[in-house]
């Protein structure tokens, strides 16, 4: 049975307690639209506060350390974010890979730590414009995922992949529907090769890259697109939930 569309809001480095009203509004709306699974990843400082405010939506973190504790000044461990109320963690976001030099090996180590700590994971992948224009986008993303994905038997429930073409994040640009369909089809094939037919088919593949209400319906109706990883448009409940509503419209019944 196919999983519900998964709409995840990544607040990035935005948000103080004044934004808790937006989280509450998202949660109330999500309770009325059960065809879609909705989640928010606020900054670390708000995980506990958002967790206490909501009843329906998932709350997660934007990153974690691969280490459970110790002398790692400034790092946040899986036990810490789980204790704050996080149920999932976003890993390997392009801003972490590019801005902080995170490698596939490190992303894999973080994923292993998160899963061992009882969290679900969202593994991000995506290419630069230079890579795409060189005709190497699919090969690059495939290599990235092969080295980043954790090995486990029940991947369908615990792993989500988010494809985010780097050149489309926060730029207002989006990949064409044909580009998205081709990349997601390749990712699905790789997931089945990695996890087997049943579990590989259950892993949701999100699209991330300037998703907004105006283009959400077309993107979310594309084959193998199982939801969206939403950045700036997730900062207000109205805009974010309009994307979730578009996802709900793609569900039969």
Catalytic residue positions? 93, 164
Sign of CA pseudo-dihedral 48, 49, 51, 52: positive
Cβ proximity of 39 and 58 under 8 Å: yes
Strand partners, 8: 39, 229
Q: Answer left, alpha or beta for residue 227, where phi above 0 means left and psi between -120 and 50 means alpha.
A: left
Listed in order, strand segments (DSSP E) in 11-140 are 37-41, 58-61, 88-91, 120-125
Contacts of 21 (CB under 8 A, 6+ apart): none
Buried b (16+ CB within 10 A) or exposed e, 138-154: bebbbebbeebbbeeee
Structure tokens at 7: 């709409």
The continuous run of DSSP H or E covering 31 comes out as helix 20-32
Angle at 161 between CA 125 and CA 70, to 5 degrees: 80
Angle at 157 between CA 151 and CA 160, to 5 degrees: 70
């Amino acid at each position: 049975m196919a999983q519900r569309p998964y709409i995840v809001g990544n607040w990035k480095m935005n948000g103080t307690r004044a934004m808790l009203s937006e989280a509450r509004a998202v949660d109330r709306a999500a309770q009325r639209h059960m065809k879609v699974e909705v989640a928010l990843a606020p900054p670390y400082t708000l995980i506990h506060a958002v967790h206490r405010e909501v009843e329906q939506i998932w709350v997660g973190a934007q990153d974690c350390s691969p280490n459970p504790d110790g002398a790692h000044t400034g790092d946040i461990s899986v036990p810490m974010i789980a204790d704050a109320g996080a149920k999932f963690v976003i890993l390997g976001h392009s801003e972490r890979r590019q801005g902080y030099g995170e490698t596939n090996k490190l992303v894999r180590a973080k994923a292993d730590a998160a899963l061992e700590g009882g969290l679900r994971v969202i593994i991000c992948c995506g290419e630069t414009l230079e890579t795409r224009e060189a005709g190497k986008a699919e090969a690059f993303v495939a290599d990235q995922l092969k080295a980043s994905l954790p090995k486990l038997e029940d991947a369908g429930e615990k792993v989500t992949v988010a494809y985010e073409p780097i050149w489309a994040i926060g730029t207002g640009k989006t990949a064409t529907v044909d580009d998205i369909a081709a990349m997601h089809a390749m990712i699905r094939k790789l997931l089945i090769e990695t996890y087997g037919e049943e579990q590989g088919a259950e892993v949701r593949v999100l699209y991330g890259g300037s998703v907004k209400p105006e283009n959400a319906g077309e993107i979310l109706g594309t084959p193998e697109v199982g939801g969206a990883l939403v950045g700036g448009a997730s900062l207000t409940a109205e805009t974010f939930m309009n994307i979730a509503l578009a996802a709900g419209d793609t569900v039969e019944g």
